[in-house]
Amino acid sequence: MKPIQTAIELILSGNREIFFTVGTSLSFSFFSTILAGFMGLSIATILTLCRFPLRRFLISLITSLMAVPTVVVGLVVYSLLSRSGPLGSLGWLYTPYAVIIGQSIFALPIVISYLWTGFSKLDLRFFETIHTLGCSFSTKCFLTWRESQTVLTNALLSSFGRVLSEVGISMMLGGNIRWYTRTMTTAIALETNRGEYEQALALGILLLLLSIGINTLTFRISAQGGRT
Amino acid sequence: MNPEPLFRIRNLKVEYNGRGTIFHIPHLDILSIDRVAVMGPNGSGKTTFLKTLNGLLEVPSGTIFYKGAPLRVHRRKLTQEVTYVHQHPYLFRGSVYRNLLVGLHSATLTLKEKERHIQITLERLGLSGYEERDTRELSGGEAYRVALARALVREPQVLLIDEPTAQADQEAKRIITETLQQVARKGNTTLIFATHDENLCKDLDVRILRLEEFSLCRY
C-alpha cells in the first residue's frame, strides 16, 4: 500500500514534473486530435456524400488501418523524419512536431471511421432532402456536420482518448526527453524500468482518471444525442 | 401547337424482387401546365414514381426524358428545378426559419428579401409566427407544412409532393389545398402529387394517373 500512498501524495503535493508531463501529454493529444479531426472530417464527408470508383475499398482499407499498432506508425514516421529519410532535413525527429504528426496519422483512421459510420447512420430522407433542395456541395457538407454534432464530438473525444494512452509513437518519435517530449505513457514506462514505482503509479492514476473522464463525457454526449 | 412535354415517359417498368411488376407506364407525357395526381393503393409505386422523376432513384427500366433529354443528362438541372416533398418529411435541426433558408440557399436575393419571401410563404401555409420554433417541437401536420413551405419558397418548376393531406386535420387540409390551388393558378409550377384524397383531386382539377392499371383520366 505504501507506493500507492506515496503516489497519491505526489499528486496532491502538485509535483511539478508530474504535472508538466501531464500537460505535455494533453497538449500533444490535443493538437494531434485537431489535426486528425480536420483531415478526417474532410475525408469522411467526401466518402459519405460522393460516389466514386473504389470508394467501398477505400472505406474498408481505412477501417483496417484502425488496427495498425502504434509502433508501426512510429516506425514509418521515424523512417521519414530520420536524418537519412526524405524529411530528415526538417530536423523534427525527437521534437513535439514528430510526436504530433505520428499521433495524427495514428488517429486519422479512427476519426474517419467514427465519422463515416455516424454520417452513414443519418436518415436516408436527410440525403434525399439535401439532394432535392439542390444544395451545393458546401451546403451539403455544412448540413451533414450540423446534423451530426454528437457524432463529431464523439469521434474527436474517442480519438483524443486513444492518442493520450498510446506509448509507441511518443517513445519512438519523441525520444522521451525530460521537460520536452516526455508524456505520461513514456514516463510510466521509464519510471517502471528504473524502479520508481511511486512516480509511475502517480502518472498511471492520473492517466486512468483522464481516460475515465473522457469516456464518461463521450457516453453522456452519446446519451444526450440519442435523446434529442 | 402542342407545347413540348416536360416529362416524356416511355415504357417505364418498376419491379420489386419477388413481387413481379409493380407498375408499367408504356407512354406518358406530362406538360408544364399539368397538374397530375398519382393514385393507387398502398405499395402500388406512387412514391417510387415521384422519386424516379426527381432522380432520387435510378430509372429501373425504360426511359424518362426531362425537357427533351434523358434524366441522367439533366441531373444537375433536376436538382435545381424539381423539388420533392416526402410523405414524412425530414426537417433539419434548428428553427423553421433556418429550414426555409436552406431552401433559398442558391437564390440570388439579399437576406432581407429572403426573410420577406420566407415570411410570405409561411403566412400562406398558416405558419405565421413559427419562424423561431424548433423543428423538433412540431407536430406531424405542422412539420409537413414546413417541408411544403421549404419546397415552395424555392419556386421550383416542378413540385413533386407525396401525400400532401395524409397527416393534415381539416383546417390544415384547407390551407394546403388553397396553397396548391394558388400555385396551380400562378402557372409557373407543374404539380405532380401522390394521394388517396379524392377531394383534393376535385379541388385542384387534376389529371389522374392510376398506377396499378395504368390509366390516365381527368377528374
ipTM of the complex: 0.92
Task: Please tell me which of the candidates B90, B151, B154 has its beta carbon nearest to residue A126.
Answer: B90
Neighbours of B58 (CB within 10 A): 10
Contact: A123, B154; criterion CB under 8 Å:
no
Task: Please tell me which of the candidates B51, B136, B151 has its beta carbon nearest to residue A228.
Answer: B136
pLDDT at position B1: 53
Cα distance from A214 to chain B (closest Cα, Å)? Answer: 26
> In angstroms, rounded to a whole number, what is the distance separating the alpha carbons of residues B117 and B183?
15
Is there a contact between A111 and A40 (Cβ–Cβ < 8 Å)? yes
Residues of A with CB under 8 A from a CB of B: 123, 125-126, 128-129, 131-136, 139, 143, 146-147, 228
Mean per-residue pLDDT over chain B, rounded: 90
Please report, for chain A, the start and end positions of each structural domain, with discontinuous segments joined by +: 2-227
Whole-number percent of chain B with pLDDT over 90: 68
DSSP state of B110: -
> In angstroms, rounded to a whole number, what is the distance separating the alpha carbons of residues B112 and B20?
53
User: In one letter, which amino acid is A16?
Assistant: R
Which residues of B are less than 8 Å from A134 in CB distance?
A: 79-80, 83, 106, 154
pLDDT at position B23: 86
Q: Which residues contact B98 (CB under 8 A, 6 or more apart)?
A: B92
Which residues of B are less than 8 Å from A131 in CB distance?
A: 55-56, 79
Look up residue A87 and give its three cell numbers.
524529411
> Which whole number is the average pLDDT over B83-108?
93
- Quickly state the pLDDT bin for A76 (edges 50, 70, 90): very high
Which residues of B are less than 8 Å from A123 in CB distance?
A: 90
- What letters, b where the CB count within 10 A reaches 16 and e where it falls short, cover B133-163? eebeebeebbbbbbbbbbbbbbbbbbbbbbb
Is there a contact between B44 and B25 (Cβ–Cβ < 8 Å)? no
Would you say residue B19 has pLDDT above 80? no
Contact: A131, B105; criterion CB under 8 Å:
no
Contact: B93, A146; criterion CB under 8 Å:
yes
> Which whole number is the average pLDDT over B29-50?
91
Task: Please tell me which of the candidates B79, B106, B136 has its beta carbon nearest to residue A132.
Answer: B79
> Which whole number is the average pLDDT over B167-190?
92
Q: Which CATH architecture has domain A2-227?
A: Orthogonal Bundle (1.10)
Chain B residue with Cα closest to A128: B56
> How many Cα neighbours within 13 Å face the side chain of B86?
18
> In angstroms, rounded to a whole number, what is the distance separating the alpha carbons of residues A130 and B92?
10
- Quickly state the pLDDT bin for B83 (edges 50, 70, 90): very high
> In angstroms, rounded to a whole number, what is the distance separating the alpha carbons of residues B58 and B130?
36
- Quickly state the pLDDT bin for B2 (edges 50, 70, 90): low
Contact: A139, B102; criterion CB under 8 Å:
yes
Which residues of A are less than 8 Å from B56 in CB distance?
A: 128, 131-132
Would you say residue B16 has pLDDT above 80? no
Would you say residue A34 has pLDDT above 80? yes
> In angstroms, rounded to a whole number, what is the distance separating the alpha carbons of residues A36 and B215?
57
In tens, the pLDDT along B116-142 reads 999 999 999 999 999 999 999 999 999
Specify the higher pLDDT residue, A93 or B75. Answer: A93
Which residues of B are less than 8 Å from A143 in CB distance?
A: 92, 102
pLDDT at position A107: 97
> In angstroms, rounded to a whole number, what is the distance separating the alpha carbons of residues A93 and A98?
6
Q: Which of A175-179, A218-222, B117-121, B171-175 has the lowest mean pLDDT?
A: A218-222
Neighbours of A139 (CB within 10 A): 15
pLDDT at position B15: 80
Would you say residue B215 has pLDDT above 80? no
Would you say residue B146 has pLDDT above 60? yes
Q: Which of A27-36, A173-182, B36-45 has the lowest mean pLDDT?
A: B36-45
Which residues of A are less than 8 Å from B79 in CB distance?
A: 131-134
> In angstroms, rounded to a whole number, what is the distance separating the alpha carbons of residues A9 and A92?
36
> Which whole number is the average pLDDT over B16-27?
79
> In angstroms, rounded to a whole number, what is the distance separating the alpha carbons of residues B213 and B39?
10
Which residues of B are less than 8 Å from A136 in CB distance?
A: 105-106
Is there a contact between B146 and B91 (Cβ–Cβ < 8 Å)? yes
> In angstroms, rounded to a whole number, what is the distance separating the alpha carbons of residues A50 and B150?
24
Cα distance from B75 to chain A (closest Cα, Å)? Answer: 10
Contact: A132, B80; criterion CB under 8 Å:
no
DSSP state of A88: G
Which residues of A are less than 8 Å from B92 in CB distance?
A: 126, 129, 143, 146-147
Cα distance from A135 to chain B (closest Cα, Å)? Answer: 7
Would you say residue B196 has pLDDT above 80? yes
Q: Is the dihedral of CA A71, A76, A82, A87 positive or negative?
A: negative
Mean per-residue pLDDT over chain A, rounded: 95
- Quickly state the pLDDT bin for B217 (edges 50, 70, 90): low
> In angstroms, rounded to a whole number, what is the distance separating the alpha carbons of residues A40 and A33?
10
> In angstroms, rounded to a whole number, what is the distance separating the alpha carbons of residues A11 and A15?
6
Would you say residue A226 has pLDDT above 70? no
| Burial (0-12, 13-18, 19+ Cβ within 10 Å), A208 | exposed
Is there a contact between A153 and A111 (Cβ–Cβ < 8 Å)? no
> Which whole number is the average pLDDT over A61-81?
96
> Which whole number is the average pLDDT over A64-85?
96
DSSP state of A89: G
> In angstroms, rounded to a whole number, what is the distance separating the alpha carbons of residues A169 and A153?
24
> Which whole number is the average pLDDT over A181-186?
97
Whole-number percent of chain A with pLDDT over 90: 94
